[in-house]
Structure 1
Amino acid sequence: MITATPHPAAALTHTLDAPLPDAFRLRRAGPGDAAALVALSEPFVRSGALRRRPLAVYAARAADFLVAEEPDGALRGCLALRVHPDAADDHGPTAAGVLYNFCVARQRQGSGLGARLLGAALAGARAQSLGVLFTATTGSGRLFLRHGFTPVRPAAAPRAWARTLDPRRGARVLARAL
């Protein structure tokens, strides 16, 4: 799969600097966060909500991730945005993005942290001039639906990403035009 490396955008940087409830801050992950990303994701992997990814994948794709960090450095949420410039042929003149590996630590669910991560990802996608965002969810998808995502056929998504979806997981594909 060919992807573009996202470049820092002013709108995203401004969003990341804004304070979060309980003194959290949003920031872009780095390769040194890979082990914490694995640990944060593990309960979701065990439940079947996320696919297992090796530590090396988290390290290699760290720049895809926004993380919510407590003052003590603990990560309590993450959401990755991967740009698919090769999907421009499928989606008009602009590239598409895929949101993946969205998780918020159990003790922080319902606090607004997930909405904040999703809002920052949407701002980042707009700053990169993406035309559409896709995600797949095995859950209700309520947060995505509240933020303007709608169900679509997997064939509507970037082909390279859609081919990686495991039909046995029963995930719904959602999309939102930007």
Structure 2
Amino acid sequence: MRVGLTGPHTLLAPTFSVRVAREEDAAALAELSRPFVRSGALRERPVSLYATHAADFLVTETPGGALEGCVGLRVHPAGPGEGRRPAGVVYNFCVAGQRQGSGVGAGLLRAVLARARALALGGLFTATTGSGGLFLRYGFTPTTARLAPQSWAESLDPRRNARILRRTL
């Protein structure tokens, strides 16, 4: 998937590719996430989890192959008798420091929204300890844990004081 900007400055606009992560990206995903884990913005995940769930992740990379950003999307089936579509949880969303503000995060978020629509998800949820500004600009709104997939909501650490955001698709 090619992501870029359009308009009069198209030739000057950065473009980058978004692809699904592979199992061999696990160590690079952990390394990309490490500064955000240290700051408290992300939960620590072992390399083995990144390897096992590599297909959850969309990534961007430099022409040399170094990862610049990633975002996970985990699908949660609707509960029995709920009569609604499955929901997705956006997690482990991070962009390398030198690429922040360059559009990489917005490109990843657009790609994860497209993937969620292709999977016919009813909505997306995420939890953030930051402002959530990018999510809010893309139509996410504050919500409560009781509206989120139960297994995910129960896994949230209340000590992190994360805000839960939701976007209907």
| TM-score, normalised with respect to structure 2 | 0.91
Q: What is the total number of aligned residue pairs between the two structures?
A: 162
Match of 1:24 in 2: 16
Match of 2:100 in 1: 109
Match of 2:8 in 1: none
Greater RCO (CA < 8 Å, at least 6 residues apart)? 1
1:75-154 matched pairs, under 5 angstroms: 75-87=67-79, 89-90=81-82, 92-154=83-145
Match of 1:41 in 2: 33
- Which one of the candidate residues 57, 61, 81 is aligned to 2:53? 61
Give the drift of 1:17.
3.6
CA pair 87-111 structure 1, distance change in 2 beyond 3 A: farther
Bigger Rg, structure 1 or 2: 2
- The answer (yes or no) to whether the contact 1:88–1:96 under 8 Å persists in 2 is no
Match of 1:163 in 2: 154
- The answer (yes or no) to whether the contact 1:85–1:94 under 8 Å persists in 2 is yes
Alignment gaps of 5+ in structure 2? 6-12
- The answer (yes or no) to whether the contact 1:96–1:130 under 8 Å persists in 2 is yes
Q: After TM superposition, where is structure 1 displaced by more than 4 Å over at least 4 residues in a row?
A: 18-23, 87-90
CA pair 89-173 structure 1, distance change in 2 beyond 3 A: farther
Give the drift of 1:155.
1.2
Specify which structure has the higher proportion of helix: 1
CA distance in 1, matches of 2:80, 2:65: 38
Q: Tell me the SS of whatever aligns to 1:53.
A: coil
| Identity, % of aligned positions | 62
Q: Tell me the SS of whatever aligns to 1:118.
A: helix
CA pair 65-129 structure 1, distance change in 2 beyond 3 A: same
- The answer (yes or no) to whether the contact 1:23–1:70 under 8 Å persists in 2 is no
* Matched AA of 2:124: L
Q: Tell me the SS of whatever aligns to 2:43.
A: coil
Match of 1:5 in 2: none
Q: Tell me the SS of whatever aligns to 1:163.
A: helix
CA distance in 2, matches of 1:163, 1:125: 22
CA distance in 1, matches of 2:53, 2:2: 22
* Matched AA of 1:28: V
- The answer (yes or no) to whether the contact 2:70–2:92 under 8 Å persists in 1 is yes
CA distance in 1, matches of 2:16, 2:108: 11
